[in-house]
Structure 1
Amino acid sequence: MTDNILHPAEVSTLYIVPTPIGNLGDITQRSIDILSSVDVIAAEDTRHTGKLLSHLGVQTKTFALHDHNEQQKAAYLIERLQNGESIALVSDAGTPLISDPGYHLVTQCRDAGVKVVPLPGACAVITALCASGLPSDRFSFEGFLPAKSKGRKDKLKDVEQMPHTTIFYESPHRITDSLKDMLEVLGPDREVVMARELTKTFETFKKLPLGELVEWVTADSNQQRGEMVLLVHGYRETTTEEMSPEVIRTLTAIAKELPLKKAAAITAELFSLKKNALYKWGLENLE
Structure 2
Amino acid sequence: MDVQLYITGTPLGNLEDMTYRAVETLKTVDVILCEDTRTTRKLTNHFGIDTPLRAYHDFNKEESEDRIIEEMHEGRTFALVSDAGMPVVSDPGFELVARMQEEGLEYVVIPSGSAFTLALVASGIPSYEFTYFGFLPKTGSKRKKKLKEIMAHELTSVLYESPHKVKDTLGVIADIDGERMISISREITKKFEQHVRRPASEMLGLLDGEIPLKGEFVIVIEGAEPESVHFDIPAAEHVEALIKEGLTPKQAIKKVAEVRGLKKQDVYDEFHETKK
Which band: TM-score by shorter chain?
A: 0.7 to 0.9
In structure 1, the residue matched to 2:205 is 215
Does the 8 Å contact 2:6/2:108 carry over to 1?
yes
1:48-127 alignment, distance < 5 Å = 48-127=39-118
Judging changes above 3 Å, is the alpha-carbon distance between structure 1 residues 60 and 209 closer, same or farther for their aligned structure 2 residues?
A: same
Normalised to the residue count of structure 1, the TM-score between the two structures is 0.77
1:146-185 alignment, distance < 5 Å = 146-185=137-176
Does the residue aligned with 2:160 lie in a helix, a strand or coil? strand
1:183-262 alignment, distance < 5 Å = 183-185=174-176, 187-220=177-210, 223-237=212-226
Output the CA distance in 2 between the equivalents of 1:111 and 1:39: 22
Output the CA distance in 1 between the equivalents of 2:12 and 2:260: 46
What letter corresponds to residue 82 of structure 1 in structure 2? H
Output the CA distance in 2 between the equivalents of 1:219 and 1:89: 38
Output the CA distance in 2 between the equivalents of 1:71 and 1:138: 34
Task: Give the greater-gyration-radius structure (CA).
Answer: 1
Output the CA distance in 1 between the equivalents of 2:141 and 2:57: 27
Does the 8 Å contact 2:2/2:106 carry over to 1?
no
Deviation of the 1:238 alpha carbon: 5.5
Output the CA distance in 1 between the equivalents of 2:99 and 2:175: 41
Deviation of the 1:148 alpha carbon: 2.4
Work out whether 1:16 is the aligned partner of 2:4.
Answer: no
Does the 8 Å contact 2:33/2:53 carry over to 1?
yes
What letter corresponds to residue 38 of structure 1 in structure 2? V
What letter corresponds to residue 215 of structure 2 in structure 1? G
Does the residue aligned with 2:207 lie in a helix, a strand or coil? helix
RMSD value over aligned CA atoms?
2.0
Output the CA distance in 1 between the equivalents of 2:63 and 2:208: 42
Normalised to the residue count of structure 2, the TM-score between the two structures is 0.80
Please list every run of 5 or more consecutive structure 1 residues that lacks an aligned counterpart in the other structure: 1-9, 240-275, 281-287
Please list every run of 5 or more consecutive structure 2 residues that lacks an aligned counterpart in the other structure: 229-256, 262-276
Instruction: Please list the CA deviations of residues 21-77 of structure 1 after superposition, one character each: whole Å capped at 9, or x if unmatched.
Output: 111011111101100000000010011000100001111001000010001101111
Deviation of the 1:160 alpha carbon: 2.4
Instruction: Please list the CA deviations of residues 157-184 of structure 1 after superposition, one character each: whole Å capped at 9, or x if unmatched.
Output: 2222222110000111111111112222
Higher deviation after alignment, 44-53 or 170-179: 170-179
Task: Give the total of aligned pairs.
Answer: 233
In structure 2, the residue matched to 1:130 is 121
In structure 1, the residue matched to 2:36 is 45
Output the CA distance in 1 between the equivalents of 2:107 and 2:61: 17
Q: Which runs of 4+ in 1 moved over 3 A?
A: 276-280
Does the 8 Å contact 1:21/1:94 carry over to 2?
yes
